[in-house]
Amino acid sequence: MTPRLVHCHPVTCLNVTGMGEPGGAEHLSAIGALYAVASAMGGAAGPLEGRWWVEDTSLPPLETPRDQWRWHLLLPLPGMPEPGAAEAARERARPSGAAVDRVQVVTFTEGECVELLHEGPYSEEKRSLEVMEAFMAEHGLVPNGLHHEIYLTEFTDPDPKTLLRQPVAPRPEAAAHR
């Protein structure tokens, strides 16, 4: 497990924003809606990604109750869809029963990021996150955006693989010395 520094360019995605525990009803509903719209657009999207945060900063994020976790679930697109394509896909996907009206097209840029491949259960990500934090401290970096996960395997995979990504910036005192 060795973190690396990468530069991430703008990415356009299908997005659903919500709150609740991973694998909970709200989370699963959002995933279903994303895949329904992606399929109606031709299916060239993925893998599933999530950008996570908590509003209450009085606790470390992983100690915040999971039902209070907030997220953007994302399916990257191969490019910007034609005007009206997402709206038409939502209409075609509406009979699926999925909450397709929640699906939006968004573009975001993370810039410089620390990235690490986590292999194993999601419940053990804390160790990988600690490795990333140590790397950031060693390189004079601080978080500069939402925690980002790219799910390289299905949620049901007994040995999941997740690319963990954290946008970063120079620590203010480190930037002053450059």
DSSP-derived 3-state class of residue 151: strand
**Peptide bond preceding 61: is omega within 30 degrees of 0, i.e. cis?**
no
pLDDT beyond 80 at 132: yes
The share of the chain scoring above pLDDT 90, in percent, equals 73
| Segment 26-81, tens digit of pLDDT | 999 999 999 999 999 986 667 999 999 998 888 778 788 888 999 999 999 988 89
| Segment 85-121, tens digit of pLDDT | 999 999 999 998 889 999 999 999 999 999 999 999 8
Q: For residues 9 and 52, what is the distance between their CA atoms, to the nearest angstrom?
A: 19
**What pLDDT score does 154 carry?**
84
Contact 162, 122 (CB under 8 A): yes
**What pLDDT score does 90 carry?**
95
